[in-house]
Structures are given as C-alpha cells and as structure tokens.
Amino acid sequence: MVSRFRFIKLIRKLLQFKHQDMIKTKWLIYTVIIGLMPFFIRTFISIFDKTATLEYWINETDFIGLGLVLNLSNINELEDKEFEDRIWKTKNIGLSVVYIVLFSSILAIVTYSDFKHNTDINKWTVKICAILLSFVSFFFSYSIYNRLNSIR
Amino acid sequence: MTTTEIIIVLTLFGVVIGLIVSIKTILETRKKYYNEYIKRKRNEKT
C-alpha cells in the first residue's frame, strides 16, 4: 500500500515537466527529426534496394526542406513571445526570413533546372551547398532554442 | 557568372552570417545563464 503510494507520487513528479525544460526536446523531436524524415526514408530505401545510387540517397531538396522547416519553427517560436532584448528577437526573426528566401531561391533554381534538363548546374556542388546551409540552419535554430530553454 | 557560382556565393554568405549570429547567441546565453545561476545561489544563501 505504501509502496504503491510512493510509486504514484514518483510518476506524478516525473510528469511535472515544466514547459521551459521541454522546449529543446520538443524542438528536436517535432522539428528536426520530422524535418529529416525524407532523408531517413531515402536512407531506408537505399539500404534495402541495391540499385539505389549515392546521387539518389543525397538529395538536395530533402536538405532544403529541412532548412525551411527549421527557420519557420524559429519564426513561430519567437514571434509571439516577449523578450527583454527585443533587438535579439528582431535580428533572429530577420535572419530566419533571409534563410527562407535563400532556401526557396535555391529550391526554385534546382527545380527549374530539373524541369529544363539544364546541364549548367553542377549537381554535387548544389548538394554540398544545401547540406552546408541546412547544417548552419540547424546550428542557428539550436542557438535560439538553447536560449529559450536556458533563460527563464 | 554561372548559376552554380551564384549558389556558391549565396551559400557562403548564409554560412558566414549564420555561424557568427549562432555563436554570439550561444556565448551570450551561457553568460546570462551563469549570472542568473549566481544570483539564485546568493538569494538562497540569504
């Protein structure tokens, strides 16, 4: 009877997560992992299908999609909150918008060149650029959520 | 300028600015978090 009461008390304590503590974890699960879903699916297919090539596995649109999702989540998280440092908030929202425009431009160029079968674009250079930009977007998004998680 | 070169220039621009802003934010956060921690400890003592 006493141990059951203690067990219930422990469960209640574990469930009393403050929203603040869960911000980074939620970001990681809802934004990053979901954003990487197309890449995970391609990886899964590449593992089981022997005809899959490296060019198929590393697709620039997957990473551009990840970058767009990360920057949109930054704007969504920052927009409705009040901060002491309003300049920091405005700077980060502004940079997220710049990244969204950048990613959208590269996506438009890639999509159009695929449509026209344009050989002007070096595919591997575009893939490396998309991966680099999405990595920097991840790091940028991490810095924002780290701050939201740490400072009350 | 070819399309690939434009993409490379835009990427470098994005990477440099993004890294500067991110590293600055992380360093500021650590400084503020440390200051808040010290304040909390002082309040607990008093």
Tens of pLDDT, residues A21-41: 688 888 888 899 999 999 999
Q: Does B17 touch chain A (CB under 8 A)?
A: yes
The residue among B1, B3, B34 with the most chain A CBs within 10 A of its CB, best to mutate, is B3
Distance CA B17, CA B1 (A): 22
Domain hosting A57: range is 18-150
Region A123-127: mean pLDDT is: 90
The verdict on residue A5 lying in a domain is no
pLDDT of residue A19: 53
Q: Does A6 touch chain B (CB under 8 A)?
A: no
The verdict on residue A87 lying in a domain is yes
Q: Extract the tokens encoding A130.
A: 């998309």
Is pLDDT above 70 for A13? no
Please compute, for residue A9, the number of CA atoms within 13 A of its CA located in the half-sphere on the CB side: 6
> Is B36 close to A151, i.e. CB distance below 8 A?
yes
ipTM score: 0.84
Q: What is the pLDDT of residues A27-79, one digit of tens each?
A: 888 899 999 999 999 999 999 988 888 889 999 999 999 999 999 999 999 98
- Three-state SS for A100? helix
The verdict on residue A12 lying in a domain is no
Query: Based on the structure, what is the number of domains in chain A?
Result: 1
